[in-house]
Amino acid sequence: MARYVKNEKGYEKSVKADWEAVKKGLKKARTETGEPKKIPTSVALDPRFVVELKKEAERKGIPYQIMMRMFIIEGFQRMKKAG
């Protein structure tokens, strides 16, 4: 399994920051670049598919949620092209 900072011992104690300022800065950056805010959604999937998706995402070294998002966006774009 891929290792992320959150998995490390002491993660919650290792970084001190003004998180409100960070959030404001990110929000400002998104606004200036025109990047739309993402909307959380929920999709029920067959657990066997999720297991396979997680394995493939790990093999590629990316979080499985990002891989799902990529599939949805790419599939939608293909569907729009096909008419």
Q: Residue 64: name the closest of 7, 2, 9 by CA.
A: 2
Residue 61 maps to a domain: yes
Which position has the token pair 């979080």? Answer: 63
Residue 44 maps to a domain: yes
Total domain count, the chain:
1
Confidence of residue 53 (pLDDT cuts 50, 70, 90): very high
Residue 32 maps to a domain: yes
Residue 39 maps to a domain: yes
CB 61 within 8 A of CB 2: yes
Residue 8 maps to a domain: no
The pLDDT tens digits of the residues spanning 14-24 come to 556 777 887 78
Residue 7 maps to a domain: no
Q: Residue 75: name the closest of 43, 34, 37 by CA.
A: 43
Q: Residue 63: name the closest of 53, 72, 78 by CA.
A: 53
Say whether pTM exceeds 0.85: no
Residue 17 maps to a domain: yes
Which structural domain, as residue segments, surrounds residue 29? 13-82
CB 37 within 8 A of CB 30: yes
